[in-house]
Amino acid sequence: MSDTPKLEPWQWPEEQWRRIVNQVRAGRALRPTSWPGGARCAVALSFDSDHETSELRDGGKSIGRMSWGEYGARVAVPRILNLLAKYDVKATFYVPAVVALLHPDEQRRIVAEGHEIGIHGWIHELNSVLPYEDERDLMLRSTDTLEQITGVRPVGLRTPSWDFSPSTLKIEKEMGLLYDSSLMADVDCYELLLDGEPSGVLELPVEWIRDDAVYFMMHRFQSLRPYTPPTDVLDIFRREFDGAYEEGGICQITMHPHMTGYRSRIFILEELIRHAKARGDVWFGTHAQVVEWARDHAA
């Protein structure tokens, strides 16, 4: 057993905290001068189809909570897909491999209707607790599973719960992924730096304030309760879009089918789409499409 005393963060030498900070950083910004068709703003809608894995990932066996996830597949995803079709909007669905195996027809329908499916872990595990070998194995198996079910190999990753380990970007680079959508260093796309060097993996950033889970999450046996009225969530998302429009940037939104896909909440998605389309010069794209355009047309 080492007799070396553990240093507190305020005692760390500069080399130590710089090394920690510089593991993964934001590189060059990738804001294009305009979007496809001369659009001023891009909208990137995403849906994390966690379904039953929200309960399974921590070893949970609650039938009640798994039924909440099943609602996401049984009712919410079809409702969301019908709404997206109504407005001819394409989106990205991030799907754990276990969810894809439980609901393969759902994933096939998503792809058949022109939407993107991205990697979202095996069973919605936390990357930060995994050894490198296990994280890499799960990421590769997840990617293979999604390809086998849908016929399309995913090009982007969203880590479950946006939980990013020191190995995640290295694995993404090894896999040749186009992009990640788990980090928060900007509102525009940017290239990720790995230990100070360009990784070739691009980031389409997320943010908790643009995620429905922080407003609608519920756990009966914890103190976690929904605290924000749906009308207020719409107001937040709409203000995020208005800001993106004024800047000529991206409005990226994250939703969960088993949270937003209810009769009293689905209007948030519809009103946001209607509000954006009313501007006229707005382009809706999948996350992969947005990243590709930003990469190829960055100012």
Residue 203 contacts by C-beta under 8 Å, 6 or more apart in sequence? 26, 179, 180, 181, 182, 183, 185, 186, 189, 190, 191, 192
pLDDT band at 3 (very low <50, low <70, confident <90, very high): low
**Which helix or strand (DSSP H or E) is residue 190 part of?**
strand 190-194
Task: Confirm whether 15 is domain-assigned.
Answer: no
Question: What's the pTM value of the predicted model, to 2 decimals?
Answer: 0.95
Bridge-based pairing state of the strands 250-255 and 41-48: parallel
Rounded CA separation 52/46 (Å): 18
Mean pLDDT of all residues in 252-257? 98
Mean pLDDT of all residues in 262-279? 98
Quote the pLDDT of residue 38.
Answer: 96
Quote the pLDDT of residue 299.
Answer: 83
Residue 281 φ/ψ, nearest 5 degrees: -100, 60
From residue 142, give the alpha-carbon distance in Å to each of 213, 231, 293.
23, 36, 26
Q: State whether the Cα torsion 178-181-185-187 is positive or negative.
A: positive
Quote the pLDDT of residue 223.
Answer: 73
Task: Confirm whether 2 is domain-assigned.
Answer: no
The secondary structure of 209-268 as a DSSP string is GGBTHHHH---TTSS----S-HHHHHHHHHHHHHHHHHHT-EEEEEE-HHHH-STTTHHH
Task: Confirm whether 6 is domain-assigned.
Answer: no
Task: Confirm whether 130 is domain-assigned.
Answer: yes
- pLDDT at 41 exceeding the cut of 60: yes
Comparing 129-138, 211-220, 242-251, which segment has the lowest mean pLDDT?
A: 211-220
Rounded CA separation 294/299 (Å): 9
pLDDT band at 219 (very low <50, low <70, confident <90, very high): confident
pLDDT band at 184 (very low <50, low <70, confident <90, very high): very high
Helix orientation angle between 104-112 and 132-150, rounded to the nearest 10 degrees: 70
Task: Confirm whether 11 is domain-assigned.
Answer: no
Quote the pLDDT of residue 27.
Answer: 97
Domain extent, residue 118, equals: 24-297
Quote the pLDDT of residue 221.
Answer: 72
- pLDDT at 97 exceeding the cut of 90: yes
- pLDDT at 50 exceeding the cut of 60: yes
Task: Confirm whether 14 is domain-assigned.
Answer: no
CB 189 within 8 A of CB 204: yes
Number of domains making up the chain: 1
**Which helix or strand (DSSP H or E) is residue 282 part of?**
strand 282-284
Task: Confirm whether 242 is domain-assigned.
Answer: yes
Quote the pLDDT of residue 222.
Answer: 74
pLDDT band at 158 (very low <50, low <70, confident <90, very high): very high
Average pLDDT along the chain:
95
Residue 235 is part of a domain; what is its CATH number?
A: 3.20.20.370
